[in-house]
Structure 1
Amino acid sequence: MKGLIKILVLAVVLIAVSCKKDTAPNYQFMPNMYQSEGYETYGEAAFPNGIEAQLPAQGSVARGYIPFDIENTTEGYELAKATLMSPLDSTQVNLERGKKLYDIYCGICHGNKGDGQGKLVKREKILGIPSYDDAGRAITAGSTYHTIYYGKNAMGSYANQLNEEERWQVVSYVLKLKADLEK
């Protein structure tokens, strides 16, 4: 009996070893996954219905993006200045967070106090940054938001760096700085 078991085990091992040949390739399951068909870039075969397959549907909005309906024009700036109000109520305004964001993105030019004396102005790298309390400058929440969104003069847009809620936090902090400077 013990001899029969040894012979069976030896036979199974020999069969398993004899099936593997290093000279012959192994079987491929689903060979189209290993050897895909090559297509020319933007060729007919890749897009049977044309290139329109890659374009987003008309009127669609990218995920996480909220469109700003006011145009990047002087008229749009004046409209935002007159009509745009913060959607944040007093419980949602976080001046500490607004200060952190302001210090990161705005303070280098506008100064940490909003007086137009940031590090780049002091080193004369950028000139002509006005203070928030300058006479004739009626800064409103709408005008500040429009400026952050589109930029103005030498200042670029910060729409890609700050999401909508963060922009409104910075606007709230800028209005606080303006009130502090006017005291």
Structure 2
Amino acid sequence: MRSFIKIGMVLGTAAVMTSCFNKSKPNYQFMPNMYEEVGYKTYQESDAFKNGVEAQLPAENTINRGWMPYDYEDTQEGKALATVELKNPLTADSLAVEDNLAKGKELYGIYCAVCHGDKGDGQGILAQREKFLGIPSYADRETTEGSIYHVIYYGLNSMGSYAVQLDEKERWQVVMYVEQLKKDLGVGANNSEEKTEE
């Protein structure tokens, strides 16, 4: 007898639940925003905040995660300071020198060799085709790690900036490889001044 009562209760509950079901509309939604989300565009006006879009802007003087500010200005004074003060942080890690040189060589081949040549002699394919004239050989320029990094960051003369194409570590890897090319061309590793274009 009790089993008939239990079966009757289950069937009655199922009948009540399905009698209100409408196939054209979903049932009650506990979190409707998860089913019907509102698409927002970056910095679009929103009523989610009382002050409007201001709450969606980053706090003043903040920087992107993983991004390091570069403290040297794009001026002759900034370049002179970088020439003297900047040192390659990757050279301190002697275990990864070969890996950094290999990556620097790869990046140099992609971004630099087209003008500066595979050997750093200023005889890249664009120089040979006379698209750019006067590209210096690393043997003819007195450079330091800092001056090379500064020119990669800001560019100089006909050379544009590569700050967008190369992140901080990649720039230092290219600097390391350029220093290696200078040695291969018979130039001392670190000279104190830089004359003109890299």
TM bucket normalised to smaller: 0.7 to 0.9
Separation (CA, whole Å) in 1 of partners of 2:92 and 2:144? 16
Identity %: 56
Query: Under a length normalisation based on structure 2, what TM-score does the superposition of the two structures give?
Result: 0.72
C-alpha RMSD of the superposition: 3.3
After TM superposition, give the deviation of residue 33 of structure 1 in Å. 4.3
1:105 corresponding residue in structure 2: 111
Which ranges of structure 2 fall in alignment gaps of 5 or more residues? 188-198
After TM superposition, give the deviation of residue 29 of structure 1 in Å. 3.7
Determine helix, strand or coil for the equivalent of 1:133: helix
Give the 3 Å change call, closer, same or farther, for CA 55–172 of structure 1 in structure 2.
same
Which ranges of structure 1 fall in alignment gaps of 5 or more residues? none
After TM superposition, give the deviation of residue 178 of structure 1 in Å. 1.4
1:65 matched to 2:70? The reply is no
After TM superposition, give the deviation of residue 32 of structure 1 in Å. 4.8
Q: How many residues of Structure 1 are paired with residues of Structure 2 in the alignment? A: 176
Determine helix, strand or coil for the equivalent of 2:152: helix
Amino acid paired to 1:63:
R
Amino acid paired to 1:122:
Q
Q: 1:151 aligns with which of 151, 155, 167?
A: 155
Separation (CA, whole Å) in 2 of partners of 1:37 and 1:99? 47
Determine helix, strand or coil for the equivalent of 2:69: coil
143-152 or 121-130: bigger deviation: 121-130
1:30 matched to 2:15? The reply is no
Amino acid paired to 1:55:
L
Query: Under a length normalisation based on structure 1, what TM-score does the superposition of the two structures give?
Result: 0.77
Structure showing greater Rg: 1
